[in-house]
Amino acid sequence: MRRSAAISGTAETRIVEILRERILAGELVGGDRLRQLDVSEELGVSTTPVREAFRSLAAEGLLQIDSHRGAVVREMSPAELLEIYQLQLLVERDNLGHALARMTAQALAEAEQAQEAMRQTEDAVQWVLLNRDFHLALALPAGRPRVYRLLSDLLNLTAVQIRGDIDSWDGRRAQALAEHDRLLQAVRAGQAQTAAAVLTEHTSAPIRNLEGVLGQ
C-alpha cells in the first residue's frame, strides 16, 4: 500500500508539472476542458493520479473541477489578477523580513542559480518557472510552511500573467532581472528595508500595468 501511494504521488507530481507548463505555455487556455481519461491515456497512467493532479491544480487556482469527472482551465480577469498580485506582495514582503533573519548560504545559492539560469534561457515558460523558484528560494528560510504554501500558490497564479508580460512588455525581462540583482544584493547585506523596497518596486510594476488596464 505504501509503495502504491508513493508511485501515485510521483505520477501526480509529474502530471501537475506537465499540465501547469501547458497552461503557462498557452497550449491550454481559459475555458479548455480536460478529461481524466484523455489525460491518463496520453500520459500512460491510471485515472487516480490524474484526478489528484486536477485537485492540486484546482487548489492552486489554475483549474476548476466540473461535475463530469474532469476540469476546466480557469480564466482570470484583470481584476482578479490585480487582487492576486496585491496579496502576493503583502505575503512575500512580510515573509521576507522573517527570512532575512534566518537566511542561509544554501538559499542564496539556489536563488542565484535560478537567476543565472533565467539570464541564459530563451524559453519563456522555463523563465517563468525559474522566476517562481527564485522567489521561493528566498522565502523558504523564514520557516513558515503555511505562508510558503500560500506564496507558492500565488506565484503559480501570477506566472500565467508574467508569461504574457515578458512576451508583450518590451524590456520586462531585463527590468525584472535587474530588480532581482538588487534584491539579492540587499538580502546578502542583510538590509531588510532596502530588500522590502526593491520587492515592492518589483511587484508594483505588474500591479500598475493591471491598474492601467482597469482604468484605476
User: What percentage of the chain has pLDDT greater than the value 90?
Assistant: 68
Whether the per-residue pLDDT at 47 is higher than 70: the answer is yes
Distance CA 160, CA 81 (A): 10
Model pLDDT, residue 9? 54
Handedness of CA 86, 78, 33, 22 (dihedral sign): negative
Model pLDDT, residue 200? 97
Distance CA 216, CA 109 (A): 39
Cα-Cα end-to-end distance for the chain:
55
Cβ atoms within 10 Å of 200's Cβ, excluding its own: 13
Instruction: Quote helix, strand, coil % in the chain, to nearest 5.
Output: 80, 5, 20
Q: Once rounded to an integer, what is the mean pLDDT over residues 18-22?
A: 90
Phi and psi based region of residue 143 (left: phi greater than 0; alpha: psi -120 to 50; beta: remaining)? left
Select 2-73's CATH number: 3.20.20.70, 3.30.300.30, 3.40.50.300, 1.10.10.10.
Answer: 1.10.10.10
The one-letter code for the residue type at 180 is H
Residue 209 CB partners (closer than 8 Å, separation 6+): 165, 169
Domain 78-214 bears CATH identifier 1.20.120.530? yes
The answer to whether the beta carbons of residues 107 and 137 sit under 8 Å apart is yes
Same fold, 2-73 and 78-214: no
Q: What is the pLDDT of residues 65-86, one digit of tens each?
A: 877 667 999 888 999 999 999 9
Distance CA 211, CA 86 (A): 11
Give the start-to-end residue ranges of the domains of the chain: 2-73, 78-214
Q: What is the pLDDT of residues 102-161, one digit of tens each?
A: 999 999 999 999 999 999 999 988 999 999 999 999 999 999 999 999 999 999 889 888
Residue 205 CB partners (closer than 8 Å, separation 6+): 172, 175
97 is written with which cell numbers? 523580513
